[in-house]
Amino acid sequence: MTVLVRFAPSPTGRLHVGNIYIALANWLFARSRGGEFLLRLDDTDRERSTAAFAEGIEADLRWLGLAWNRFARQSEGMERYDTAVATLKAADRLYPCYETPEELALKRKSQLQRGRPPVYDRAARALTDADRQRLEAEGRRPHWRFLLARESVAWTDLVRGEQQIDEASQSDPVLVREDGSYLYTLPSVVDDIAFGVSHVIRGSDHITNTGAQIQLFRALGAEPPAFAHLPLLSDAAGEGLSKRLGSLSIDALREQGTEAMAINSYLARIGTADSVEPKLGLDDLVQGFDISRFGRAAPRFDPAELAHLNARLLHETPFAAVRARLEAMGLAQVDEELWQAVRGNIATLAEIADWAQVCHGPVTPVIEDPAFAATAADLLPSEPWDQEVWGAWTARVREATGRKGKALFLPLRLALTGREHGPELKNLLPLIGRARAVARLSGQTG
């Protein structure tokens, strides 16, 4: 079977980690099966969809490396949806309804009061042509409902196993609004058929839609695709993420210095029993990806864990992978040696600027004992310097001053870097160089 999956966001906002959790599962599934990934913008809601959000979605996916093989916008698929509507009407599976939202709310209320489920009662099916003409003469426009077959619909979910939904307990879904615009359900099914989508991988908030959609596939003469419903992410306390999604948008995380591959590495594995490891490339995540390893329980998304993974990823990142970005950040002076020396001490790439400054100056030294610092300066070996210099030099300083351990190393670190902590001085000292080291040990900013 040719595998085709789709990620189908509505361009009514920016993408957040919950969306990418789904997008990534689709993308990795396609790659692991030699299939294709369709990016489909579900933009039939003309009021809320914007071109800027659509561009933002594409930019975020590109930044994450989630390239798409195929692309579609539902606003360009109207003819297909109109044809499907004609098919459904001809088969008497789509019927006009005239109730206002207020009338529907009242119906639901009285059903609930009588202890009945608030399922649409199909009153509009009893309308005669004359009734409809009268309603339209009053200025009412119909919305259109799909006539569900009142039976159970079953499917084998790739994540949740055997699923069953009794469509007799569901309201006939509205497919077309009063103004003629489409709700999500019909265009989604029509496009899944038109593009040949083989697997629908989406959030478990769509499970109840799936029963009606399976009936729609069949009503339109198509076999439904396979379905996989992933649990929605929750926060560290086990609550839904919805309130925090603004701060968990991909562009916000990028602004905060989160690496694309940290996000990918985290989201590709948190729903599984596999351990979360920093991976440098998406190919590394394709290996070992298996949709059946995802569980039904809501995975916890913890920003602190992501930040930690981000640091671990940077600590392993080779210079070649960041060279161009460093140049773009105006940090062309960071060479491979500097990168190797300090990458283990950064939590975001931007923090490298601080360590570049420690190496190249200016640094304001912190000196508590000027006599000790002067002695140490006098004992500095002559250049050229390599990683051995630090050991040789501090051995001499220890001998001359009798200091050892922290009493020896901390004042040297404070004088040379102006900071209490940092990368190993054995690696930093050759990058600082003799002239700057002498200046700093004598209390000069340099």
**Binding residues vs ligand GLU (CB under 6 A):** 8-10, 42, 184, 188, 202, 206
Alpha-carbon distance 175 to 220, whole Å? Answer: 14
Backbone phi, psi, residue 294, to 5°: -80, 140
Structure tokens at 167: 């469509």
Block residue for tokens 């608030």: 118
Q: Of 42 and 259, which CB lies nearer to ligand GLU in the complex structure?
A: 42
Q: Of 206 and 312, which CB lies nearer to ligand GLU in the complex structure?
A: 206
Centroid of chain to Cα 200? 18
Nearest approach in angstroms of CB 49 to ligand GLU is 11
Nearest approach in angstroms of CB 19 to ligand GLU is 8
Nearest approach in angstroms of CB 84 to ligand GLU is 16
Q: Of 4 and 326, which CB lies nearer to ligand GLU in the complex structure?
A: 4
Nearest approach in angstroms of CB 435 to ligand GLU is 60
Nearest approach in angstroms of CB 224 to ligand GLU is 12
Order of strands across the sheet that contains 94-97 = 94-97, 143-146, 174-176
Nearest approach in angstroms of CB 204 to ligand GLU is 11
| Prior bond of 384 cis (ω within 30°) | yes
Q: Of 140 and 206, which CB lies nearer to ligand GLU in the complex structure?
A: 206
Burial class (CB in 10 A: 0-12, 13-18, 19+), 64: buried
H or E segment to which residue 166 belongs = strand 161-166
H or E segment to which residue 165 belongs = strand 161-166
Alpha-carbon distance 446 to 435, whole Å? Answer: 9
Q: Of 74 and 171, which CB lies nearer to ligand GLU in the complex structure?
A: 74
| Prior bond of 231 cis (ω within 30°) | no
Alpha-carbon distance 36 to 3, whole Å? Answer: 6
Q: Of 93 and 202, which CB lies nearer to ligand GLU in the complex structure?
A: 202
Q: Of 10 and 427, which CB lies nearer to ligand GLU in the complex structure?
A: 10
Judge contact between 402 and 376, C-beta under 8 A.
no
Q: Of 10 and 310, which CB lies nearer to ligand GLU in the complex structure?
A: 10
CB atoms within 10 A of CB 244: 14
Q: Of 144 and 184, which CB lies nearer to ligand GLU in the complex structure?
A: 184
Establish how many alpha carbons lie within 13 A of residue 296's alpha carbon, considering only the half-sphere containing its beta carbon: 8
Block residue for tokens 């800027």: 52
Nearest approach in angstroms of CB 46 to ligand GLU is 14
Alpha-carbon distance 422 to 410, whole Å? Answer: 11
Q: Are strands 152-157 and 199-203 parallel, antiparallel or unpaired?
A: unpaired
Q: Of 209 and 310, which CB lies nearer to ligand GLU in the complex structure?
A: 209
Nearest approach in angstroms of CB 201 to ligand GLU is 8
Closest residue by Cα to residue 408 from 439, 379, 438, 381: 379
Nearest approach in angstroms of CB 216 to ligand GLU is 12
Structure tokens at 430: 């050759």
Nearest approach in angstroms of CB 184 to ligand GLU is 6
